[in-house]
Chains A and B, each alone.
Chain A
């Protein structure tokens, strides 16, 4: 036993049954798939990878918040709707009302955090299951998005009181978010995703609050008796998730140059799939941001490979479903 004290690698990266190793293996498998079905070399072009990252970024941003919530043994179904609400608000305030981005962006983030926090409070204070609490917020936020937008896409065609439209130019902030940097090799949204990921990683691994989330997910009652502020920590997790959803909404609006109240339908499921495929445990208490990064890439590339090979939408959905189950089964721990 004394000898084994030196054996540090019990949770290590390269153990075959460590979640990180498996998530990495899943990603490599998908990349191999891409090499095999490379659509006449399209898969080997730099642009393909840039686009993959760009398209995965919005999902990835949602998955950052989702990871925090799931580690605390929760779930957030509202992120897709909050994304739409944020996209609509951002477009309305920036395009129609001409707000400066310095005002519009914080206001959108506030709206997202408020939605998340409200759902979190309903769950944590009134002890309503997170599935129910966030399902209610999902419906509510969608309704709010439709109310704010009047049920129509908020675009550069600004309606006049007399029923005609005035066309305005796209605000600079939209173009900035939708731009590319490094000589066109990296999308700005990807950078935003990486910043979100970094923030979540720092919070989860470097701040006390991260430990609280793991403790709540691992054994809530023991956590409470150990002095963990359970209610507060949980509300913060849902707030963070709402905040990230708002960021995703801003990115989405910039990319589409409009705020669509129907946007983000089903995105919550993709975000959950990313987290789960990364290997974060849906029962809570185990997981991490590194896993979510791998999961984002896996889902992103999977989608891209299917689309460059012109697999029809219908088969793509079915294939994605099957592959998610296969990946999760492969990751399930024995015992």
Chain B
């Protein structure tokens, strides 16, 4: 960590930060400097300790060893509110919003405008509109946070941190649910913050983002600082080597080419919009997925792709119109339970709300969806469950100190792997994936790509939603692009390119794709 003379004094100086959870040490004496006017990207594998480190800076954990200086003053923030007063705002990986109150109330939680404990609602509403406007998003400040889709909640979380006017802004995977245009808007905002000489810490697993946003990169591995270097001096290969400890192939595995029987067929499926009663989230979608095939679904905010998957999985009950075949057999859409029994699995895009059972053990989480098979006659077989959990943990490159620990104690990326492992354990015929690699590190992502390819080759049909364009392009055999609940384009492997996908997702008519979109 060399410093040149021209460099200004750091905004924050962390020295010898060490943290233990019970018997497990997750940070072993980390030193980190954060400079004004600079974006420091904090990279590292799942469970490396990134979130823990910034939670210490953000006042979430106060029982750590080491010291923190902010602006030359020794501090020890004991709560997030205290950290905010010291000028540190954090966008947490697992959002810190209160779901049952309004967006505006969330933005100003703990510092409502007004006098004598009464909230000046009009002032607050205006301030909320301004804060959200900065991000360029239109969200009703009076809407309840819990009723917003995941991506919107993430935007609210970002707006909340930014509206604190902090000197130091920490973003822990802020774009994990965002689409390209929203990410670009965030980056423009980060440029503005930089120009105002604020310090920014940015945690992400997306290489493309690191390349665009980073000024300096620091890498953690197993709770130790491996190194830090200016971004332009660190090639992608070196960075990955620092992170995973070895050289790694980052190519997407090629498709196998052999297509088998039909695994999933949708005919004129329409799904009601769960948030706007009486409206449709998607209208008249027809598509087919065959064994060995990975079909990508692309779409921006409000395109309805997530609702489509939830709808055919039975998450909305019987209100879905249209016809569905699973594995060649007609299937009435009724409930998730029935869908699982027929060989369907759906990984949802919000692991905290709809994926994980946080207080249950990792093992119990992995086995949950497959319990009917794992406990014949109702009686549980601990041996079977343990073998299953160990196998799926291996397949998904899960790193957990123990399978018995509570799932909420895992790092974000490892929680995601637990949810994926749960669905793999059901051995589905048709696998529906909504952002399967959200928060997962480069090394494990590669393992999961290989795994998905292998599963497809073994005869599974996969429907994939991902907001990461490289992933969509690299993994899909073909893709359907949605705009406002309708298919705008159907693109073959050769036709998949970022501009084309984005154009269709924004509503532009595909000239060649038109015939497909109408079917």
A222 to B401, CA, bound (A): 24
Q: Closest chain B residue to A207 by CB distance?
A: B378
A1 to B224, CA, bound (A): 12
A218 CB-CB contact with B under 8 Å: yes
Contact in complex: B369, A227 (CB < 8 Å): yes
Contact in complex: B340, A227 (CB < 8 Å): yes
* In the complex, chain B residues whose CB is within 8 Å of the CB of A212: 371
When A215-B357, A221-B353 are in contact, do A1 and B23 touch as well, CB less than 8 Å?
A: no
When A10-B404, A208-B371 are in contact, do A229 and B399 touch as well, CB less than 8 Å?
A: no
A10, A206, A209, A210: the one contacting B23 at CB < 8 Å is A10
When A219-B356, A227-B336, A229-B337 are in contact, do A211 and B368 touch as well, CB less than 8 Å?
A: yes
Closest-CB distance, B468 to chain A (whole angstroms): 23
A218 to B372, CA, bound (A): 19
Q: Mark A196-220, 1 if CB is under 8 A from B, else 0.
A: 0000000001111111101101110
Closest-CB distance, A280 to chain B (whole angstroms): 11
Contact in complex: A1, B340 (CB < 8 Å): no
When A11-B406, A221-B353, A223-B357 are in contact, do A208 and B375 touch as well, CB less than 8 Å?
A: yes
Q: Closest chain B residue to A226 by CB distance?
A: B369
Contact in complex: B401, A7 (CB < 8 Å): yes
Q: Closest chain A residue to B223 by CB distance?
A: A1
* In the complex, chain B residues whose CB is within 8 Å of the CB of A226: 336, 340, 368-369, 422
Closest-CB distance, A231 to chain B (whole angstroms): 10
B346 CB-CB contact with A under 8 Å: yes
Q: Mark A216-251, 1 if CB is under 8 A from B, else 0.
A: 011101111111110000000000000000000000
Contact in complex: B360, A285 (CB < 8 Å): yes
A4 CB-CB contact with B under 8 Å: yes
A221 to B348, CA, bound (A): 11
B340, B358, B371, B422: the one contacting A211 at CB < 8 Å is B371
Closest-CB distance, A285 to chain B (whole angstroms): 4
Closest-CB distance, A275 to chain B (whole angstroms): 16
Contact in complex: B368, A215 (CB < 8 Å): yes
Q: Which B1-45 residues have a C-beta within 8 angstroms of A?
A: 22-24
Closest-CB distance, A71 to chain B (whole angstroms): 10
A153 CB-CB contact with B under 8 Å: no
Contact in complex: A227, B337 (CB < 8 Å): yes
When A214-B364, A227-B369 are in contact, do A206 and B357 touch as well, CB less than 8 Å?
A: no
B118 CB-CB contact with A under 8 Å: no
Q: How big is chain B's contact interface, by range?
A: 35 or more
Closest-CB distance, A168 to chain B (whole angstroms): 44
* In the complex, chain B residues whose CB is within 8 Å of the CB of A209: 378
Contact in complex: A221, B354 (CB < 8 Å): yes
A17 to B359, CA, bound (A): 15
A215 to B364, CA, bound (A): 9
Main secondary structure of the interface of A (DSSP, over half): helix
A15 CB-CB contact with B under 8 Å: yes
A315 CB-CB contact with B under 8 Å: no
B355 CB-CB contact with A under 8 Å: yes
Contact in complex: B24, A218 (CB < 8 Å): no
When A211-B364, A215-B360, A221-B354 are in contact, do A10 and B405 touch as well, CB less than 8 Å?
A: yes
When A1-B222, A207-B379 are in contact, do A224 and B336 touch as well, CB less than 8 Å?
A: yes
A224 to B354, CA, bound (A): 9
A5 CB-CB contact with B under 8 Å: yes
Contact in complex: B378, A208 (CB < 8 Å): yes
B124 CB-CB contact with A under 8 Å: no
A7 to B356, CA, bound (A): 23
Q: Closest chain B residue to A15 by CB distance?
A: B22
B47 CB-CB contact with A under 8 Å: yes
* In the complex, chain B residues whose CB is within 8 Å of the CB of A10: 22-24, 401-402, 404-405, 409
A8 CB-CB contact with B under 8 Å: yes
Q: Closest chain B residue to A220 by CB distance?
A: B357
* In the complex, chain A residues whose CB is within 8 Å of the CB of B368: 211, 215, 223, 226-228
Closest-CB distance, A279 to chain B (whole angstroms): 13
A286 CB-CB contact with B under 8 Å: yes
Contact in complex: B380, A225 (CB < 8 Å): no
When A211-B364, A227-B337 are in contact, do A1 and B379 touch as well, CB less than 8 Å?
A: no
A208 to B367, CA, bound (A): 11
* In the complex, chain B residues whose CB is within 8 Å of the CB of A1: 47, 222, 399, 401
A166 CB-CB contact with B under 8 Å: no
A215 to B367, CA, bound (A): 11
Known: A4-B23, A207-B380, A211-B364. 5 other contacts (CB 8 A): A4-B401, A10-B23, A214-B364, A228-B368, A229-B337
List 6 interface pairs A-B (beta carbons < 8 Å), by A numbering.
Answer: A7-B23, A10-B409, A208-B375, A215-B360, A224-B336, A285-B357
Partner-B contacts on A (CB < 8 A):
1, 4-5, 7-11, 15, 17, 205-212, 214-215, 217-219, 221-229, 281, 285-286
A-B pairs, 10 with minimum CB distance: A218-B357, A285-B359, A10-B405, A226-B369, A227-B340, A227-B337, A208-B375, A218-B359, A4-B401, A219-B357
